[in-house]
A and B are shown apart, each in its own frame.
Chain A
Amino acid sequence: EAGVVQSPRYKIIEKKQPVAFWCNPISGHNTLYWYRQNLGQGPELLIRYENEEAVDDSQLPKDRFSAERLKGVDSTLKIQPAELGDSAVYLCASSLGGTNTEAFFGQGTRLTVV
């Protein structure tokens, strides 16, 4: 069974440019998460979806970050414009939802803003 798929694996952009990340969760997983992991830190939640609804986006910097999950399957996370401090690994995860909390992570996208 395929796991969580993310693309691209790596992205280098200049500051003020836009960037987008894509995630395909495990089939049948209703809950999708986007996490950001800074160097030397643990992952921090940006947004959580239940099907196509964003149920927790309190940690998402809404002035420059946006996300969508059309049809409740794939998701994209966008940053516009990117800043130097956005350099991090962006992780997508999915879970069955409900009380099942075990989240399965993708390999992540390493973003470098120069």
Chain B
Amino acid sequence: DQQVKQNSPSLSVQEGRISILNCDYTNSMFDYFLWYKKYPAEGPTFLISISSIKDKNEDGRFTVFLNKSAKHLSLHIVPSQPGDSAVYFCAARRRGSQGNLIFGKGTKLSVKP
């Protein structure tokens, strides 16, 4: 039973446009959410996070939105650049579990010039 779901295996966006990556979760005990980016043959790289007490966190071109009632979060990249092409993983931490992260299956983003 997947607790963190990324239902879109892939997404293709034109350079300069907005990329929106979605993530749904089922466990209401999750209190912290993270996005990681992964290039081929490299380990995941931390991108941005959000606590469950917030509904938005912004860092440069990257913004994460959290809708707790819908158990949904999204990552917005504006404007998208070809270097953003990678696999993006959504991850969640259960309250009280310290650092254990539960990951989604990932969404492969392709930004076309």
Contacts and interface: CB of A to CB of B under 8 A. Distances in A.
A40 B105 contact: yes
Nearest to A4: B43
A101 B49 contact: yes
B99 A105 contact: no
Max chain B C-beta neighbours (<10 A), residue from A91, A101, A107? A101
A48 interface: yes
Nearest to A6: B43
B8 interface: no
Contact of B99 (A33, A40, A43, A106): A33
A25 interface: no
Interface residues of B, number: 24
B49 A105 contact: no
A35 B61 CA distance: 29
A89 B93 CA distance: 22
Q: Report whether over half of chain B's contact residues are helix, strand or loop; otherwise say mixed.
A: strand
Contacts, number: 60
A102 interface: yes
B100 A45 contact: yes
Interface string A40-77: 11111100101000011000000000000000000000
Nearest to A45: B100
Given A42-B91, A43-B103, A107 B43 contact: yes
26 contacts: A4-B43, A33-B99, A40-B105, A41-B105, A41-B106, A42-B4, A42-B91, A42-B104, A42-B106, A43-B101, A44-B103, A45-B100, A45-B101, A55-B98, A56-B97, A91-B43, A98-B98, A101-B32, A101-B34, A101-B101, A102-B46, A104-B46, A105-B43, A105-B45, A106-B43, A107-B42
Given A91-B43, A101-B98, A105-B44, 17 more contacts: A33-B99, A41-B106, A42-B4, A48-B99, A48-B100, A56-B100, A101-B34, A101-B49, A101-B93, A102-B49, A103-B46, A104-B46, A105-B43, A106-B43, A107-B43, A108-B42, A108-B43
Q: Which 6 residue pairs spanning A and B have beta carbons closest together?
A: A42-B103, A105-B43, A105-B44, A102-B46, A107-B43, A43-B103
